């Protein structure tokens, strides 16, 4: 008998062509009910799905290159920090904890929407996934970044505030720009290759966070064998601007092929 995933009254049959995608969608919905995900997180996820579609729901070679440079940069940084929002916490909690341990880099909860109860809900999810130390939750350690006006300006003194390299998956607006102005290196994961975050980051990984995390953990295991000099070489040789341009070209080529295929089906139906 075919196994099904039960989400309340809705069952996703395992043989559904979009089973994986629907499973993540339901995680986001359940996460919203538990306050982990902001209401706007549902819309952000849908936007992500749309961009994922136009890269063929696959990890492109350019994303792999960016991930390698990102891991190398995290490994050579003195105070790397992994910033966690609601969407990421619900989609990849265990993998966040694993990456945090392998680098090592602390997890800091940093939210755009600071609705009451969300910090606690996200803390619960991450603790259940094995996190032993979480930043961003102790009010007495919180300071503000003047360059930012959104809630994201509230950061942990021992985390993002002092950090030299910040990993920001699924980001909104202008934080990347502000962090860079403060002299920090920023690594972004964003399915939208032309978002402000993607354009402003030092290293932009254009891929779905659910595919990025396992790959980065694997790469970290490999790169940890290298010396600082070799890691620095990987970072120095990476050209983010060129990588984004190549990704955009790959998207155009993929869409052209999709168009041909759609025309062929339309003609023959
Ligand atoms: O939990 P909070 O309060 O910190 O809020 C988190 C959200 C995501 C709601 C907030 O940061 C937001 O509104 O973000 P935006 O402006 O919608 O931007 C999110 C970006 O992430 C968009 O460019 C999406 O395309 C992208 N994105 C969405 N899902 C994924 C993704 N990128 C990678 N992997 C995904 N699964």
What the block records as the tokens of 177 is 């720009």
Global pTM reads 0.95
Residue 43 domain-assigned?
A: no
Residue 222 domain-assigned?
A: yes
Per the structure, the count of domains in the chain is 1
> 188 alpha carbon to ligand 1 midpoint, in Å?
11
How far apart (Å, rounded) are the C-alpha atoms in residues 183 and 124?
32
The conformational region for residue 183 under phi > 0 = left, psi -120 to 50 = alpha, else beta, is left
pLDDT digits (tens, 9 = 90+) for 133-153: 999 999 999 999 998 999 999
pLDDT at 4 over 90: no
Q: What is the CATH number of the domain that holds 102?
A: 3.40.50.12640
Report the nearest atom of ligand 1 relative to the CA of 49.
Answer: 29
8 A C-beta contact, residue 80 and residue 203: no
The count of other CB atoms within 10 Å of the CB of residue 204 is 28
Torsion over CA: 244, 250, 256, 258 (sign): negative
pLDDT digits (tens, 9 = 90+) for 40-85: 999 999 999 999 999 999 999 999 999 999 999 999 999 999 999 9
Residue 126 domain-assigned?
A: yes
> Whole domain around residue 113: which residue ranges?
61-242
The model's confidence at residue 2, banded by pLDDT at 50, 70 and 90, is very low
Report the nearest atom of ligand 1 relative to the CA of 210.
Answer: 36
| Least reliable range by pLDDT among 25-34, 94-103, 167-176, 205-214 | 167-176
Summarize the confidence of residues 77-94 as an average pLDDT.
98
Measuring from atom 29 of ligand 1, which residue has the nearest CA? 48
How far apart (Å, rounded) are the C-alpha atoms in residues 234 and 213?
19
Residue 68 domain-assigned?
A: yes
Residue 30 domain-assigned?
A: no
Measuring from atom 8 of ligand 1, which residue has the nearest CA? 41
Residue 88 domain-assigned?
A: yes
Residue 199 domain-assigned?
A: yes
pLDDT at 21 over 60: yes
8 A C-beta contact, residue 73 and residue 165: yes
Summarize the confidence of residues 87-104 as an average pLDDT.
98
CA-closest candidate to residue 44, choices 197, 199, 243, 253: 197
Residue 260 domain-assigned?
A: no
């Amino acid at each position: 008998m075919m196994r099904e995933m039960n989400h309340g009254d809705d069952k996703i049959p395992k043989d559904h062509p979009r089973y994986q995608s629907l499973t993540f969608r339901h995680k986001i919905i359940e996460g919203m009910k538990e306050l982990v995900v902001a209401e706007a997180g549902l819309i952000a996820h849908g936007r992500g799905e749309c961009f994922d579609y136009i890269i063929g729901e696959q990890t492109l070679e350019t994303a792999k290159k960016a991930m390698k440079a990102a891991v190398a940069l995290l490994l050579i940084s003195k105070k790397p920090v992994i910033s966690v929002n609601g969407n990421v916490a619900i989609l990849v909690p265990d993998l966040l904890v694993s990456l945090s341990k392998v680098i090592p880099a602390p997890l800091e909860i940093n939210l755009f929407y600071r609705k009451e109860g969300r910090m606690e809900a996200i803390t619960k999810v991450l603790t259940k996934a094995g996190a032993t130390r979480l930043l961003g939750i102790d009010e007495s350690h919180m300071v503000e970044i003047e360059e930012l006006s959104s809630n994201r300006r509230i950061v942990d003194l021992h985390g993002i505030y002092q950090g030299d390299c910040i990993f920001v998956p699924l980001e909104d607006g202008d934080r990347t720009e502000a962090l860079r102005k403060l002299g920090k290196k920023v690594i972004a994961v964003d399915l939208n290759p032309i978002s402000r975050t993607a354009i402003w980051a030092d290293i932009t990984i254009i891929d779905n966070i659910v595919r990025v995390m396992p790959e980065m953990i694997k790469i970290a295991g490999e790169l940890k064998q290298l010396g600082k000099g070799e890691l620095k070489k990987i970072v120095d040789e990476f050209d983010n601007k060129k990588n984004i341009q190549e990704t955009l070209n790959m998207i155009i080529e993929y869409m052209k092929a999709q168009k041909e295929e759609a025309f062929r089906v339309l003609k023959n139906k």
